[in-house]
Amino acid sequence: MNYSRQREIILDTLTRNAVHPTAEKLFQIIRDENPDTNIGIATVYRNLRKLADMGVIKRIEGLEDAEHFDHNTHTHYHFMCEKCKKVYDIESDVAPSLIENTQKQTGFIINGYDIVYHGICKDCQDV
Ligand SMILES: [Zn+2]
Ligand SMILES: [Zn+2]
């Protein structure tokens, strides 16, 4: 299998699994869905890093464990559940002027951010 085909599968699998998987998790899904693929974990890692460097996907910083990857490159925040470790998207309109206000107050120029809330998600609250 050639490189671009491998990258296509990786990106496609990430896009259809909007759960901010780690490379390991994404690798499992790819293996489950494509039993005869020869994609290895190292290939998944390499391609995710490359796609993140290219700005096609986003690497989520600020999480305590392994790197998570996000196909959604639009402005949004994250919530990480302390129990199930799932990462959810939070729309940035919960705090529409956050960046503006921060720039005003500090005088810093903000080029990007990784805002991650921690807590217990709805599913885990029911248990
Ligand atoms: Zn949870
Ligand atoms: Zn996200």
Question: How far does residue 105's CA lie from ligand 1's centre (Å)?
Answer: 34
The pLDDT of 64-93, averaged and rounded, is 86
| Ligand sitting nearest the alpha carbon of 59 | 2
Q: Out of 27-31, 63-67, 114-118, which region has the weakest mean confidence (pLDDT)?
A: 63-67
CB 1 within 8 A of CB 38: yes
Q: Are residues 9 and 65 in the same domain?
A: yes
* 63 burial level (CB within 10 Å; 0-12, 13-18, 19+): middle
Read off the pLDDT band of 1 (50, 70, 90): low
Ramachandran sector of residue 26 (left: φ over 0; alpha: ψ -120 to 50; beta: rest): alpha
Q: Are residues 85 and 59 in the same domain?
A: no
Q: Are residues 64 and 80 in the same domain?
A: no
The range of the structural domain enclosing residue 62 comes to: 3-70
Question: What residues contact 56, with CB distance under 8 A and at least 6 apart?
Answer: 11, 73
The model carries a pTM of: 0.72
The pLDDT of 73-101, averaged and rounded, is 88
